[in-house]
Amino acid sequence: MNFDLSEDQLALRDGIRALCRGRFTSERIRKGFDQAMHEELESTGVFSLRADGFGWAEAAITFEELGRAVVPGPLVWTHLAHGVADGTISGLARPEPGAAAFIEHLVTADVIAVLDDDGVSLVPTDAIREAAALDWPLDPLTPVHRVEALPAGERVAGADVAAMWRRGGGVLTAAFQIGMAQACTDAATEYALARRQFDRPIGSFQAVKHLLADMVVRAEVARAAVHAAAVTLDDPGVCDLDRVLAGARLLAAEAALKNAKSSMQVHGGMGFTWESDVHLFLKRAWVLNTAFGSANEHADALAARL
- What confidence tens digit (pLDDT) does each residue in 140-167 have? 999 999 999 899 999 999 999 999 999 9
% of residues, the chain, pLDDT over 90: 85
- What confidence tens digit (pLDDT) does each residue in 162-216 have? 999 999 999 999 999 999 999 999 999 999 999 999 999 999 999 999 999 999 9
Across the chain, mean pLDDT equals 93
* Rounded mean pLDDT, 211-238: 95
| pLDDT given for residue 267 in this prediction | 92
| pLDDT given for residue 51 in this prediction | 94
CB atoms within 10 A of CB 50: 17
Q: Binning pLDDT at 50, 70 and 90, where does residue 239 land?
A: confident
Please measure the distance between the N-terminal and C-terminal CA atoms of the chain and give it in whole angstroms: 20
Cβ atoms 144, 137 nearer than 8 A: yes
- What confidence tens digit (pLDDT) does each residue in 6-26 have? 999 999 999 999 999 999 999
| pLDDT given for residue 272 in this prediction | 66
% of residues, the chain, pLDDT over 70: 99
User: CB-based contacts of 236: which residues, under 8 Å, 6+ apart?
Assistant: none
| pLDDT given for residue 1 in this prediction | 62
- Which segment of 101-110, 121-130, 210-219 scores lowest on mean pLDDT? 121-130
